[in-house]
Structure 1
Amino acid sequence: MNTVIAFILIFGALVFFHELGHLVLAKRAGILCREFAIGFGPKILSFKKNDTVYTIRLLPIGGFVRMAGEDPEMIEVKPGYNIGLIFNKSGEVEKVILNNKEKYPQARIIEVEKADLEHEMFITGFEQGAEDKLQRFAVSETSYFIVDGNEVQIAPYNRQFGSKTLGQRAAAIIAGPLMNFILAFVILFLLGFIQGAPIDEPKLGELIADGSAAKSGLQEDDVIKSIEGQEMTSWTEVVEMIRANPEQELTFEVVRNGETINIDVVPQANTVGEETIGQIGAYTPVEKGFFSSLKFGAVETYTWTKEILFGLGKLITGQFSIDMLSGPVGIYDMTDQVAQSGTMNLLRWAALLSINLGIVNLLPIPALDGGRLLFFAIEAIRGKPIDRQKEGLVHFIGFALIMLLMLVVTWNDIQKFFL
């Protein structure tokens, strides 16, 4: 049960911050964001603040920000429609009722002659009881459609995604993956601040109680001057010397409280893969502080980003098998294993997943953020956008292929449980 909670919290946080990046930059550009959703499927919780409905949905496998102008189905008011109009105190149309008009006795019923609810914001038509007089009604920029009792805010063109500059649209899209990198950096910074940032100095960090170091009399913060007469200038050199001498007695010359002492230590043998290495049960030395933690967060984020990109490169060149990929089932299983090793390791795992999510979303694949950015790049080169229907078809095909890949990967994950 704890693993389920940990998985939902971690995945939910990654999706939340990703979508928050889209939302903040879209709103800053003046785009109407209709919905901010965590998960897919039926709504289990929702509330509205300002122009946006915030929802949590049943299936915690992603999220989305629904922006005006990106709606799959646009509501239109066409000539000949009979609609109801409700006005605000300024005399502008506040609500446009498309059906079930009998439920709104205060509405004025008109037959539409012409409507522009994007640019000039008006409706002309003939009101019941005055069919011989064409009237023009100004529509508020914060007005709503009412369809089957549900309110849908009307989006003037200047609040639609497509009305914004190429730079504003690109910023709103790239902000999602960028937030994942920022989240990873913040998590790693906090880990460095709480646990200390690893430093490459010849000094002992925390010792394991039953390790060779503790049993031999070594202590945390001992500075190692030499091992077997060989000068040690970094923690890396200390580790290399210990790893190369399993079950071999080594003489450590250490400085403790200003005093130099010699201690004999026998590294325990441990098999890693096909190699037998020596270990003494000592952690990497750490340094606690704000700036060292900042550096640790930045370096770790960069290092993991590079490693993931290297792995993707292997996948593209065929050096990396699809069997080595993991879907939700595989990630859940790995989360379970990491959760058993402690909260700090679980946070480090969350940072790694966040970086991975950011990188994957930046891949130039249709339906992903990187695919959207690719179309923006083509638009910048052509000087005009690609036809929206054609772009939508490409993204739909890309989404279908991603879902197919997800099914294959998930099936592989499930099979691994029975091997």
Structure 2
Amino acid sequence: MKILIAIIIFSAIILIHEFGHFLFAKLNGIGVTEFSLGMGPRICSFQKGETKYSLKILPIGGSCAMVGEDTAEEDVPGAFNAAPVWGRISVVAAGPVFNFILAFILSVIIVSFVGYDPAEIVEVQEGSPAAEAGLQKGDVIAEYDGYHIDLAKDLYVYSYLNELQEKPITLKVKRNGETETVTYTPDASVRYLLGFNRSDVSSMTVESLIEGMPLEQAGLKAGDTITAINGTEIADGEAYDAYIAEHPLSSEPVEITYERDGLDYTATITPKEYRTPQLGFSFNVGYEKTHGLGVVKYAALDVKYMVRTTILSLKELVTGHLGMKDLSGPVGVVDAIGTTYEESKSEGTLMLWMNMMNMAVLLSANLGVMNLLPLPALDGGRLVFLIVEAIRRKPVNREVEGMIHFAGLMVLMLLMVFVMYNDFMKIF
């Protein structure tokens, strides 16, 4: 069932995208030879007028094939290149625009039923720098260090992508109809760490070591088992937790005894200080109902959030803060939808479908943004050539453009293969 729902959601988003191209092609007198959902061999098809409508076996794409779309043909009736340049721009842009429209319509439905999540402060830690700076319960965060906050999830994403540091932060909050500015430097909680991960909470077997941390520098390896600290036997994970509670790690050296291949070894290490800045406040994670124009407003803000999150994620990927392993393709999307479906079943039918719609909003906005990237073979890449043509008032060499798009398509296909492999590795 969850796979079927995932396929339906994924297919609907692609269908709307391709329908945008199809509709504006017809409006501009451009012939459409085939309108298809899916890729690969056809399962079934029918002809109506000049257009063949097809359903193909792989539900991971779609197409709107137009007359002369990737050729230099301009004299053929209904050819893509025979249409005015601004008409062609509208055809290419319509796909991503329809994805944004779909995301907005679904967001209207979600906000109507569920509401929105204001970035309201629900608690300020007593005696914290935030409290001393004047932050109050009930304040609604409008800006965090220059980053505009519309919804609580904006703040969550910003916090996820930007590590909190021990330096001044500036908040703009709405209070009693006024905007107040609060600046303070977060306190930090201090811990001392050895730098390892256990295979499970009951075990003292080292599953992995954190690079640059004491145990890794002392020469321990994954698979080693820690058996004692400062001469005190550590039989299991429970004993380790009890020892740390009674003897908190500090800047003082400790002796670690560990077992490897049946032999015992010791290493004297100095735990590393790890400082964790604390915001000093918590913010809302629930939803508030709204009505009328409020529904439209917060639906638009929700789509804005999805678009901005996609752009920020791309920025993190380009700058190296996210790796290629973090990319997901159709297989990963289906798995994510399936996971959301399973986790939402216990929340009732309404929340199940709201969460499914929310996934559709995210995917539709994501597809819209990705297709507008100025890369060959994508809608954004085609728009670049058309805008250059509109400015120059003559087209770029059609054959050169075609070769560039073909090369881009090959690169995208290779990337898709890599991403699908990556998805399978993460799932299995």
Normalised by the size of structure 1, how large is the TM-score? 0.60
Per-residue deviation, residues 311-337 of structure 1 (Å, max 9, x unmatched): 111222222211111112221221111
Q: Which residue of 1 aligns with 2:217?
A: none
Which runs of 5 or more structure 2 residues have no equivalent in the other structure?
A: 123-134, 143-151, 156-275, 345-351
Q: 1:193 aligns with which of 112, 121, 133?
A: 112
**Secondary structure, counterpart of 1:286 in structure 2:** coil
Contact 2:37 2:55 in 1 (8 A): yes
| Percent of matched pairs sharing the same residue | 38
Q: 2:317 aligns with which of 315, 318, 334?
A: 315
Contact 2:121 2:140 in 1 (8 A): yes
Q: Does 1:357 align with 2:375?
A: no
Q: Which residue of 1 aligns with 2:102?
A: 183
What is the alpha-carbon distance in structure 1 between the residues aligned to residue 414 and residue 51 of structure 2?
A: 32
What is the alpha-carbon distance in structure 1 between the residues aligned to residue 278 and residue 36 of structure 2?
A: 50
Q: Which residue of 2 aligns with 1:386?
A: 396
Specify the code of the residue in structure 1 equivalent to 2:109. Answer: L
Which runs of 5 or more structure 1 residues have no equivalent in the other structure?
A: 75-117, 120-155, 204-229, 241-273
Q: Which residue of 1 aligns with 2:381?
A: 371
Q: 2:91 aligns with which of 150, 160, 172?
A: 172
Task: Label 1:383 to 1:300 Cα distance change in 2 as closer, same or farther (>3 A).
Answer: same
Specify the code of the residue in structure 2 equivalent to 1:191. Answer: I
Shift of 1:232: 3.6
Q: Does 1:40 align with 2:39?
A: yes
What is the alpha-carbon distance in structure 2 between the residues aligned to residue 179 and residue 36 of structure 1?
A: 16
Q: Which residue of 2 aligns with 1:85?
A: none
Contact 1:235 1:284 in 2 (8 A): no
Shift of 1:177: 0.5
Q: Which residue of 2 aligns with 1:326?
A: 328
Q: Which moved further from structure 2: 313-322 or 17-26?
A: 313-322
Contact 2:7 2:334 in 1 (8 A): no
What is the alpha-carbon distance in structure 2 between the residues aligned to residue 412 and residue 283 of structure 1?
A: 32
Task: Label 1:278 to 1:191 Cα distance change in 2 as closer, same or farther (>3 A).
Answer: farther
Q: Which residue of 1 aligns with 2:168?
A: none
- Matched ranges for 1:88-237 at <5 A: 156-157=76-77, 159-199=78-118, 232-234=137-139
Q: 2:353 aligns with which of 316, 321, 343?
A: 343
Per-residue deviation, residues 246-297 of structure 1 (Å, max 9, x unmatched): xxxxxxxxxxxxxxxxxxxxxxxxxxxx9999999x9624224232211111
Task: Label 1:16 to 1:326 Cα distance change in 2 as closer, same or farther (>3 A).
Answer: same
Specify the code of the residue in structure 1 equivalent to 2:33. Answer: R
What is the alpha-carbon distance in structure 2 between the residues aligned to residue 316 and residue 231 of structure 1?
A: 38
Shift of 1:392: 1.4
What is the alpha-carbon distance in structure 1 between the residues aligned to residue 281 and residue 118 of structure 2?
A: 19
What is the alpha-carbon distance in structure 2 between the residues aligned to residue 316 and residue 53 of structure 1?
A: 40
What is the alpha-carbon distance in structure 2 between the residues aligned to residue 366 and residue 201 of structure 1?
A: 43
What is the root-mean-square deviation of aligned Cα atoms in Å? 3.4
Q: Which residue of 2 aligns with 1:297?
A: 299
Q: Which residue of 1 aligns with 2:68?
A: 69
- Matched ranges for 1:5-24 at <5 A: 5-24=4-23
What is the alpha-carbon distance in structure 2 between the residues aligned to residue 20 and residue 395 of structure 1?
A: 22
Q: Which residue of 2 aligns with 1:4?
A: 3
Task: Label 1:276 to 1:7 Cα distance change in 2 as closer, same or farther (>3 A).
Answer: farther
Per-residue deviation, residues 140-159 of structure 1 (Å, max 9, x unmatched): xxxxxxxxxxxxxxxx43x2
Task: Label 1:71 to 1:346 Cα distance change in 2 as closer, same or farther (>3 A).
Answer: same
Shift of 1:45: 2.5
What is the alpha-carbon distance in structure 2 between the residues aligned to residue 4 and residue 277 of structure 1?
A: 40
What is the alpha-carbon distance in structure 2 between the residues aligned to residue 184 and residue 162 of structure 1?
A: 30
What is the alpha-carbon distance in structure 2 between the residues aligned to residue 313 and residue 285 of structure 1?
A: 29
Contact 2:72 2:399 in 1 (8 A): no
Task: Label 1:316 to 1:198 Cα distance change in 2 as closer, same or farther (>3 A).
Answer: closer
Q: Which residue of 1 aligns with 2:409?
A: 399
Shift of 1:196: 2.7
Task: Label 1:403 to 1:284 Cα distance change in 2 as closer, same or farther (>3 A).
Answer: same
Task: Label 1:289 to 1:332 Cα distance change in 2 as closer, same or farther (>3 A).
Answer: same
Of structures 1 and 2, the larger Rg is shown by 1
Contact 1:365 1:398 in 2 (8 A): yes
Q: Which residue of 1 aligns with 2:55?
A: 56
Contact 2:121 2:136 in 1 (8 A): no
What is the alpha-carbon distance in structure 1 between the residues aligned to residue 56 and residue 18 of structure 2?
A: 14
Q: Which residue of 2 aligns with 1:209?
A: none
Contact 2:71 2:402 in 1 (8 A): no
